[in-house]
Structure 1
Amino acid sequence: MADKKKQKQCILDACRATLRIPAFCNDYDDEIADVIEAARAELVAGGVRPEKATDDDDGRIRLAIKVYVKANFGMDNPDADGFMKSFECMLTSMSGDSLYRAEPRDE
């Protein structure tokens, strides 16, 4: 469990850096963590296997999460639409890749 917490902290640090928030400033960590979890949920909802969506060692997953965070952090982001389009392209690519694709559920 400690490794998972450390891994999540690493993606939090990476997202903080992506947002150009200094490492010493953790005022927004709760909000960033919520957006990270939303990004993971979007990946799974879009067809990425849950175990891949939580694999912070995978560069494509890390990049997709960081792009999603850039699109959804803060209230007045003029670049949000562009970042969301980038995220959606990455999601489409991953959901079509057998390494990432979740198997369809029988219902």
Structure 2
Amino acid sequence: MAANATTLTEKMRAALRISSTSKKITEEINDCIAACKADLANDGVNRIDEKDGLIIRAVTLYCKAEFGYNNNAEKFRNSYDTLKMRLSMSQEYNTPIVSETDTVGGESGG
């Protein structure tokens, strides 16, 4: 990994103030990230870009709530839920992603 390239896992490790790079802790962080992405998608957030500041913030809040960071799990969960709601209502984040190869067509009556 290049010196300036930071993965979402490493960002969460820093946000949670976890210096250990053990495989088990890394797996737990990655599981938490995956759970957050699934939760966002489940509530209608279609654009989950790991480089997007609001998505990074949502994942950070989610992980801090799950890890019970500074004994403020409820505070972080409430902040996450508020951000998730705003993302799910934002056209920028809730519009389905359509690739150039997708075809747009209506149902045929018949």
Q: TM-score, normalised by structure 2?
A: 0.74
The runs of 5 or more residues in structure 1 that have no matched partner are 1-6
The number of residue pairs the alignment matches comes to 90
Q: Are the equivalent residues in 2 in contact too, given 1:12–1:32 (CA < 8 A)?
A: yes
Runs ≥4 residues deviating over 6 A: none
Whole-Å separation in 2 of the counterparts to 1:39 and 1:102: 19
- Residue 68 of structure 1 is matched in structure 2 by 62
* C-alpha distance in structure 2 between counterparts of 1:73 and 1:35, whole Å: 9
What is the aligned-residue identity percentage?
33
**Structure 1 CA distance, aligned partners of 2:8 and 2:61?**
12
TM-score normalised by structure 1 residue count? 0.76
Structure 2 gaps, min length 5 = 97-110
Q: Does 1:86 align with 2:83?
A: no
Q: What value does the CA root-mean-square deviation take over the aligned residues?
A: 1.9
Q: What SS does the corresponding residue of 1:56 show, helix, strand or coil?
A: coil
Tell me which residue corresponds to 2:41: 44
Q: Which has the larger radius of gyration?
A: 2
